[in-house]
Structure 1
Amino acid sequence: MSSPRKAAIPVLMYHGLHAGADARGRYDPVYSVHPSEFARQLDWLLAHGYHTLRIDDAATQTGSLAVSRPVLITFDDGDVSNVETALPLLRERGMVAGFFITSDFVGQPGMLASSDVRMLADAGMGIGAHGRSHRFLEDLDPPELEAELEESRSRLAAITGCNIDALALPGGRGGTRERNAALRQGYRHLFGSMPGHNPVPGAADWWQRIAITRRTSLQRFAQLVQWQGVHPRLAQARFMALSWPKRLLGNAGYERLRARWLLQR
């Protein structure tokens, strides 16, 4: 068995867990992972000695108390499968995860209700923000940006009774302006979508993540977690390739193109 790189924390990015398009929640043909595959991935982590951490714990992975193979599991958006499917599978294995929730999505069809968000928090899971409306932060003017960040944080805090200090940027879109605005609002841990590992100690206010999709085989999953082999390089190459149409078309144009492509699959 190959060993993962030392002094690095992989952060896995999930969305919904759906067996098929007719499952409860908001199915996405790319990002909806089959529940059985998610269970296999959790079992692989356990079998290979990985320990799931909460975000605050991961940010302090230094010294003699650090676990040898840390990993963060995160979910974006707030799909109802987070509580109906992910939570039982995690609890069965004594594992934890962080859930980044778009506050305007709470209570919408297929998404978590306020009581579900509280259930996740009460179960010891981490709760973070994912924007108020899921609009891309870099598309917002300064007042809109401040409102998007503040209202998301305050609503989730009111629901959970917890301090909300972690933010996953919607779509991973944003740069220095957005990061600085979030830090001013009181967020301490910011998560993007660029694939990669996070060195320890590193910049605790910025985390790279590894997208786990419906087509992620267990072999690919293992290489991505360990950041070894061809699949990490392919993930980075794909991320860079997609950055060009995003720049050329803008976020709105790129999302329209993606929607048409998904309809044709």
Structure 2
Amino acid sequence: MPTIAEGLVMGNLIEKPSPLRRGGWDVLIVVNDPGETDLLTTTLELAGYHVAGVAGSGAEGIARMQRRRFDLVVWDATLPDLKHLARGRRPALVDVPPLLFLITCDYLHTLLPELGRRRDDYVTKPVRTTEVLARAEVLLRGRRPERDAEGSGYGDLLLDDATRQARRGPRPLGLTPAEYRLLRHLLANAECVVSKEQISRQVWGEFRASEAIEKLVSRLRQKVDRGDGEPVLIHTSRGFGYWLGSPRD
């Protein structure tokens, strides 16, 4: 029996992406139903969006928003720990992205008073994929992606693959090609440990001794984690490799 994602493709429910959606918009999905998450992820990615994060609870979703930027957040407003968001109490973020609420009809009355104060919208459950895409397009119209299709970021760390430039906040990092490739690989695997063997393949395309990798990581750290009150982003997992992300307790 096909999965929801396979059925979505077989059923040809997704039309070709419009030019608006080809910018690689970063989307966070906060839903605790695996089937619904699968449906939304497949729908959005086939339409040209980039699902950059998935969370199963409100607390996890807010934590992800505090760690990085998203262009659009799809919230299941029926989750118990997300009800405060539907009542207008937003997470402590500098720039809260547009929110697309998923909501049942019997809960809609609690959400309607808050709509209109921001560029938020909703779709009723069960979710209809064409409506999700239409509402997402309207919410993002006139905005520019925080991340384009050739770039990426984590917190105040931004990479632009078109110019091969990296910045930490307003500060240019001035990376060498090898340093840029290493940072790009760490960023693509944010919060995950990357082994020295993986780094060798991604940076040089061949095996390099541990000493060469350690020196490269050290040089990159001096530029990315310079201090000045900035949180450390590049960490060592002894015996395993390196990872980029927020410090772990």
TM-score by length of 2: 0.30
Rg: which structure is higher? 2
Q: 1 or 2 for the larger relative contact order (CA 8 Å, sep ≥6)?
A: 1
More strand by percentage: 2
TM-score by length of 1: 0.29
More helix by percentage: 1
